[in-house]
């Protein structure tokens, strides 16, 4: 557990970088510091490894005031990852990763073996170990940075905007990788970003900083999106917070309609009769294995000659589907919004249709979870 007790940083020129922070970072969880530029996130982070000394207040790790520890020793128990990885350009990837174990006095063979193990853990090819940092892509360099920070198996990992220099696709895959690693390693991670989406994705808890180095809100992401404490936090997290919040609710509780699902060999009159009975204006056509093929409207059915099979009609695309077991309400809503029928198609693990849900029914389900 890391505790900030009234930790403040004032600079001689009068700048208040952090104005008395009181906050507890839970062991084994990911805590994200988020906020606009200059709001004191990096300064607060660096107080943890004594790269910044507070002008007043205290920082403790597991109850011990860190001022009682030699900074060099302290830093060996705290991994540190920064933007653009900060790798040593004239050392190979393997030697970069082995830096801290070597500093700790490990023999070269053991340090290299550990480095090779970490390369695999962060998703790098072992052949890349002999390369120099400039011979890697930005995303690969970040992975090396993460591997280097993890090399001595420190209980605490500080990450200062580690993924902000890479493109959005690479960034998303690095975020996935970190989530996967964290499930396995359960480090105490403090992660700085100015990107609220990244914060919501990665954080077990999120600390929102406001200008002047003041903590505005400290909450679990669901709570932050549901109940921002004030206008600053609300505008910082964005007015689409309602949609983002839906990521936290599973789609599995949605009641799906399967009465309007027909096979491609079914004749139009069968679907026509069913639609007339229910008043639903669309039918979903599936293949024999229940994978989706597309939508047919009540108007098409009314105009089609009797005896024709549904697969012979011009089907509207079903768009993208959502997985009823693993996806969230956000995925279902997205699928419904993009569907020409205004309905989202729910599928199982094998991609077979379970049923569909209309925007109206989704709206009702969303209301029911929105307190």
Ligand X SMILES: Nc1ncnc2c1ncn2[C@@H]1O[C@H](COP(=O)(O)OP(=O)(O)OP(=O)(O)O)[C@@H](O)[C@H]1O
CB nearer to ligand X: pick between 138 and 211 = 211
Instruction: Quote the CA–CA distance of 335 and 192 in Å, as a whole number.
Output: 32
For residue 215, the minimal CB distance to ligand X (Å) is: 12
Residue 260, interface with ligand X (CB under 6 A)? no
Residue 41, interface with ligand X (CB under 6 A)? yes
For residue 214, the minimal CB distance to ligand X (Å) is: 11
Torsional sign, CA 227, 326, 157, 65: positive
CB nearer to ligand X: pick between 58 and 83 = 83
CB nearer to ligand X: pick between 34 and 98 = 34
Candidates 30, 31, 43, 321: give the one binding ligand X (CB under 6 A): 43
Strand partners, 345: 356
Residue 42, interface with ligand X (CB under 6 A)? yes
Candidates 112, 114, 194, 330: give the one binding ligand X (CB under 6 A): 194
Say if CB 151 and CB 102 are below 8 A apart: no
CB nearer to ligand X: pick between 189 and 304 = 189
Contact range with ligand X by CB under 6 A, out of 40-48, 98-106, 295-303, 308-316: 40-48
How many Cβ atoms sit within 10 Å of the Cβ of residue 334? Answer: 18
Strand partners, 214: 210
Instruction: Quote the CA–CA distance of 87 and 89 in Å, as a whole number.
Output: 6
Candidates 40, 294, 319, 346: give the one binding ligand X (CB under 6 A): 40
Query: Strands 188-193 and 205-210: what pairing?
Result: unpaired
Say if CB 276 and CB 290 are below 8 A apart: no
Residue 207, interface with ligand X (CB under 6 A)? no
Candidates 20, 35, 228, 355: give the one binding ligand X (CB under 6 A): 35
Say if CB 194 and CB 36 are below 8 A apart: yes
For residue 188, the minimal CB distance to ligand X (Å) is: 20
Instruction: Quote the CA–CA distance of 299 and 99 in Å, as a whole number.
Output: 69
CB nearer to ligand X: pick between 10 and 76 = 10
Rounded (10°) CA dihedral 35, 87, 124, 27: -50
Number of residues that bind ligand X (CB under 6 A): 13
Binding map of ligand X across residues 4-33, x = CB under 6 A, - = no contact: -------x-x-x-x----------------
C-alpha pair distances (Å), 181 with each of 69, 78, 143: 29, 17, 11
Query: Strands 322-323 and 343-347: what pairing?
Result: parallel
Query: What residue ranges bind ligand X (CB under 6 A)?
Result: 11, 13, 15, 17, 35, 37-43, 194
């Amino acid at each position: 557990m890391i505790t900030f007790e009234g930790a403040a940083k004032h600079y001689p020129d009068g700048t208040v970088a952090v104005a008395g922070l009181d906050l507890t970072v839970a062991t084994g969880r990911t805590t994200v510091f988020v906020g606009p530029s200059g709001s004191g996130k990096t300064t607060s982070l660096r107080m943890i490894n004594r790269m910044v000394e507070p002008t007043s207040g205290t920082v403790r790790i597991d109850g011990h005031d860190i001022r009682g520890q030699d900074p060099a020793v302290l830093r060996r128990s705290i991994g540190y990852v920064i933007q653009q990885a900060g790798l040593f350009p004239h050392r190979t990837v393997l030697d970069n990763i082995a830096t801290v174990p070597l500093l700790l006095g490990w023999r070269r063979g053991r340090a290299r073996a550990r480095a090779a193990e970490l390369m695999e853990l962060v998703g790098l090819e072992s052949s890349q170990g002999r390369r120099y940092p400039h011979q890697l892509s930005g995303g690969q360099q970040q992975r090396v940075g993460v591997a280097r920070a993890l090399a001595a198996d420190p209980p605490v990992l500080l990450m200062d905007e580690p993924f902000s220099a890479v493109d959005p696709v690479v960034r998303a895959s690095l975020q996935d990788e970190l989530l996967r690693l964290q499930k396995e390693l359960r480090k105490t991670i403090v992660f700085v970003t100015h990107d609220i989406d990244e914060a919501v994705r990665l954080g077990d808890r999120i600390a929102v900083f406001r200008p002047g180095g003041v903590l505005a809100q400290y909450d679990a992401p669901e709570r932050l999106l549901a109940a921002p404490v004030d206008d600053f936090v609300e505008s910082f997290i964005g007015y689409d917070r309602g949609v983002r919040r839906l990521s936290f609710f599973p789609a599995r509780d949605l009641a799906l309609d399967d009465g309007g699902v027909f096979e491609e060999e079914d004749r139009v009159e069968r679907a026509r009769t069913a639609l007339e009975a229910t008043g639903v204006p669309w039918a979903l056509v599936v293949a024999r294995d229940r994978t989706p093929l597309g939508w047919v409207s009540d108007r098409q059915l009314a105009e089609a000659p009797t005896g024709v099979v549904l697969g012979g009609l011009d089907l509207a695309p079903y768009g993208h589907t959502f997985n009823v077991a693993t996806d969230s309400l956000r995925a279902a809503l997205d699928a419904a919004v993009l569907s020409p029928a205004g309905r989202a198609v729910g599928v199982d693990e094998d991609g077979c249709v379970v049923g569909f849900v209309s925007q109206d029914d989704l709206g009702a389900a969303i209301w029911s979870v929105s307190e």
